[in-house]
Amino acid sequence: MSYEQVEEAWQLSDSAREHAKSAGAELLPADYWAAIFSTSPLVDVERTQAEGGDPPTRIFLKSPYGLRWRPEEKDWIPFRHGPIEPLPL
């Protein structure tokens, strides 16, 4: 289950990259919120609004993962914000 959650985070990150490419201009973190993140069923909107900053530079997913803004790279990269429950062998 954890691997799929990491993949979901990367897919959302890829969606943000595609959005930036199609915009044809340098985007700020706030530009991604309305266009990509606020409508994604993966995003914990309430937590992101409470803890992600204003504008959000950390996007919390409903899984133990999220995305954080890298200002030096001008992109979003997955990070882990919660514990991962190990699966029994």
Tokens of 61: 């997913």
In a domain, 43, yes or no: yes
Domain span including residue 57: 2-80
Give pLDDT tens digits for 28-59. Answer: 999 999 999 999 999 999 999 999 999 999 99
Whether residue 69 has pLDDT greater than 80: yes
In a domain, 32, yes or no: yes
- Catalogue the E-assigned strands of 1-89: 58-60, 65-70, 75-80
DSSP 89: -
Q: What whole-number distance in Å separates Cα of residue 5 and Cα of residue 12? A: 11
Domains identified in the chain, total number = 1
The pLDDT value recorded for residue 59 is 98
In a domain, 21, yes or no: yes
Whether residue 76 has pLDDT greater than 80: yes
What one-letter code names the amino acid at 69?
Answer: W
In a domain, 87, yes or no: no
Q: Model confidence at 3, in pLDDT bands (50, 70, 90)?
A: confident
How many Cβ atoms are within 10 Å of 44's Cβ, its own excluded?
A: 18
**CA angle 26–30–43, rounded 5-degree value:** 120
